[in-house]
């Protein structure tokens, strides 16, 4: 996922305007990815490798049974990212899910299975949008919005939501946006789906209200380019 921070409110020129970009070799990207993975291990213990891989190589990947599969040409949706500014302890959140599993194994197994089926349904829907080149996809976008809501409900039932996340969900829902937690939950960042049919004024109003509530907002898009580099000596 690539975060687009090109629209600076202070009007200063961006790094793209000041410096010349250069291509990173596969070897250099592999090294960056390995460093990022080490930092993930320090922070989270046993990370999946998804975050560092997508941040380095870009695009969209699916993750199943420890295996990542790149998905091509799934670019066509924007996202509103909201930083709750609430820190989280991933290890503790994983432990919370484990505790619930130990108490209610049959229930939690069903929830996790439902999360997997929702993820596969979302992937199938995105692939259907790709066939249509993300044009005339109102039905598919509505399905994705429903899947976002359902996924958030399932994750909350596992104990990984947070009052700050629920506040973000409440505010964005008031403007017609569909929002869920990202990563381990427990605070951190939430994302709201912004389809081509979403009115810009609704997104702007949601951002304003979120920022008034003390949150930080960013715009992003699915399927970013990954890590990029610029030559500062050219300034």
The string of pLDDT tens digits covering residues 136-165 is 999 999 999 999 999 999 999 999 999 999
**Per-residue pLDDT for 77 more than 80?**
yes
Residue reference for tokens 């596992």: 158
Residue reference for tokens 């305007």: 17
51 noted as active-site residue: yes
Cα–Cα distance list, 139 to 20, 35, 63, 195 (Å) = 42, 41, 26, 11
For residue 95, what is the enclosing H or E element? helix 90-103
What is the pLDDT confidence band of residue 93, given thresholds at 50, 70 and 90? confident
The token pair that represents 58 in the structure block: 């870009």
| Residue 222, pLDDT score | 84
The token pair that represents 84 in the structure block: 């709750």
Q: In sequence order, which residues have a C-beta less than 8 Å from that of residue 22 and are 6 or more positions away?
A: 229, 230, 231
Q: Which of 23, 30, 51, 73 is catalytic?
A: 51
């Amino acid at each position: 996922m690539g975060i687009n921070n090109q629209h600076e409110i202070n009007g200063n020129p961006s790094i793209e305007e000041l410096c010349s970009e250069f291509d990173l070799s596969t070897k250099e990207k592999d090294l960056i990815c390995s460093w990022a993975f080490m930092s993930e291990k320090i922070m989270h213990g046993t990370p999946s490798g998804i975050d560092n891989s997508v941040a380095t190589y870009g695009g969209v990947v699916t993750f199943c049974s420890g295996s990542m599969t790149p998905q091509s040409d799934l670019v066509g949706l924007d996202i509103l990212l909201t930083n709750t500014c609430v820190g989280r302890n991933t290890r503790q959140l994983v432990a919370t899910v484990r505790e619930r599993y130990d108490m209610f194994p049959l229930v939690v197994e069903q929830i996790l299975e439902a999360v997997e089926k929702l993820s596969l349904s979302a992937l199938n829907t995105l692939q259907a949008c790709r066939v249509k080149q993300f044009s005339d996809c109102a039905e598919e976008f509505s399905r994705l919005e429903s899947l976002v809501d359902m996924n958030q409900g399932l994750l909350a039932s596992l104990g990984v939501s947070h009052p700050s996340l629920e506040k973000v969900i409440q505010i964005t829902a008031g403007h017609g946006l569909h929002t869920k937690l990202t990563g381990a939950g427990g605070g951190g960042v939430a994302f709201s789906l912004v389809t081509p049919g979403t009115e810009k004024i609704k997104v702007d109003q949601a951002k304003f209200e979120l920022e008034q509530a003390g949150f930080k907002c960013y715009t992003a898009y699915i399927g970013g380019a990954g890590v990029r580099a610029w030559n500062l000596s050219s300034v």
